[in-house]
Structure 1
Amino acid sequence: MNNANRTIVSRRARPAKEPLSREVIVKQAFLLLREEGISGLSMRKVAKALDTGASSLYVYVKDLQELSSYVLDYGLTHVELPDTDDGSWKSNLFAALLSYQQVLYKDPGIAELALTTTPLGPHSLDLSEYLLKQLAASGIQPASAAWAMDLLLMYAASSAFEHVSWSKNEKRSFTLMKEAYLSADASRFPFIHSHKSELFSGDLPKDERFLWGLEVILQGTLKLDHGME
């Protein structure tokens, strides 16, 4: 075979790889999570995408759990925390939680991580600090504020993950479930029948159902807190 016209590319001519760092690893893991979902988040897959060995990642992150925590934090970069001078503590609280829910909704893998992973990093801390500040402005006790923050974040994450599941893998299952409720026998299931218009109302794009849930948690917290005084 005549290889006279063959072009040999030197390894030195290849683009240099970006030096490995925790930031590089987290960014690549986030991209894999976005492309493949939670199954894409593994030390082996991240290492392969970075053209390195899995063992080299452990210099920068202790294990997959820690990496997942940093990936979750990276995913929260675009959560918007309103200027506290522009609204009431309640409107700011709800706006921040709505932004959090929408960020999770746009990145399905992050929504799942929010339910399964301990938050770790500056964006997670910024969000918690902001929510606690707004709750403290309501005058409730520190314990009530801390516990309410946990409930509000969990509700927002579960709401986002539920909607992501419906719009992705579970869309057909949701459609079948909805059809079953809407066509339920009125004589056997009178309350389902009489509430069928409301059962699936209030979701996107106005998020009335989500905001109503936030209101329920908040009002319950305020009421219980006053009863503890």
Structure 2
Amino acid sequence: MMKPKREIVSRRNRPAKEPLSHELIVKTAYELLKQEGTSGMSMRKVAKHLDTGPSSLYVYVKNLQELSSYVLDLGLGELNLPELRDDDWKDQLFQALHAYAELLIEQPGLAELSLQTIPIGNHAFRLNEYLLTVLQKGGITSTAAAWGTDLLLLYVSSIALEKAKRASELMETAQGYYNEADPVRFPLMNRLKTDFFSGDTASKERFFWAIEVILQGILHKQLGDNGK
């Protein structure tokens, strides 16, 4: 029986690989993040996707932490911030933070990164500058503005990751456990069990309530500090 002839493919006929670069590495890691989450953008997996060895990546990024920062910043390039206006600084703050939350909810991998690393680049700086500008319009300046921006972003990242990870079925299961909790041992929780899961999602009532609480705390603390 004659063996079938094996077709030999010359390396010269293969499509040329795109030269390795910082931009290509970050873009590849970002695509893997969107597909597989943070576990998909290890140095080993990024290198494999680029058909190279992990050691080659370290020429362009120091480590996974730095790569994660660049990837997060690339993702923030998709954030659409409302135009800055002279009126209603608080509404502009709410809308900007909600846009940030929506982006993170759509891409859970970005939400994870936002809690694990600090973004490096102009897209992250643009978001920080926007929030600082709006807070300044509201009379929040200096250290309070810097710390307040960090606190607001931390809250949004946390709530976005929670929403992205929680399926509606899981929420229903959790609510069932709350309803079945012993009212004698947990009287306060029993009385407020409905409130734990309340909040009009469509109007973003609970989200904006939390932002307002944080803002009032910042304003109150700054007023107290200025009165010293």
Q: How does 1:35-184 map to 2 (within 5 A)?
A: 35-85=35-85, 87-167=87-167, 172=170, 174-184=171-181
| RMSD, matched Cα | 1.9
Q: Give me the identity figure in percent.
A: 53
Give a deviation string over 1:6-46, Cα, whole Å, max 9, x none: 54332222222112111111111111112222211211110
Deviation at 1:194, TM superposition (A): 2.4
Aligned residues: 225
Q: 1:24 aligns to what SS in structure 2?
A: helix
**SS of equivalent to 2:85:** helix
Match in the other structure for 2:217: 220
| 1:178-204 deviations in Å (ceiling 9; x for gaps) | 211122333443322222222101263
> Which stretch of structure 1 is more off in the superposition, 79-88 or 95-104?
79-88
CA distance in 2, matches of 1:40, 1:87: 43
The SS at the match of 1:126 is: helix
- Amino acid of the residue matched to residue 210 of structure 1? F
Matched position secondary structure for 1:18 = coil
1:10-29 aligned at under 5 Å gives the runs: 10-29=10-29
Partner of 1:193 in structure 2?
190
- TM-score normalised to the size of structure 2? 0.91
Q: Does the CA-based 8 Å contact 1:203-1:210 persist in structure 2?
A: no
Cα distance in structure 2, aligned partners of 1:7 and 1:215: 68
Unaligned runs of 5+ in 2: none
How far does the alpha carbon of each residue in 1:39-89 deviate from its partner, in whole angstroms, 9 at most, with x for none? Answer: 112111100001111111111111111000001111112211111137522
CA contact (8 A) 1:29 1:46 kept: yes
* Cα distance in 1 for residues equivalent to 2:95 and 2:87: 10
Note if contact 1:79-1:96 (Cα within 8 Å) is conserved in structure 2: no
**CA contact under 8 A between 1:73 and 1:122: conserved in structure 2?**
yes
Contact (CA 8 Å) 1:202, 1:209: kept in 2 or not? yes
Matched letter for residue 149 of structure 1: T
Contact kept? 2:135, 2:141, Cα under 8 Å: no
Deviations 1:132-161 (A, max 9, x none): 011111122311111110110000000011
Q: TM-score, normalised by structure 1?
A: 0.90
Separation (CA, whole Å) in 2 of partners of 1:204 and 1:91? 18
Q: CA 1:77/1:203 → structure 2, altered by over 3 Å: closer, same or farther?
A: farther
Question: Take 2:63 and 2:12, find their aligned partners in 1: how far apart are those partners?
Answer: 33
Equivalent in the alignment of 1:209:
206
Deviation at 1:2, TM superposition (A): 4.1
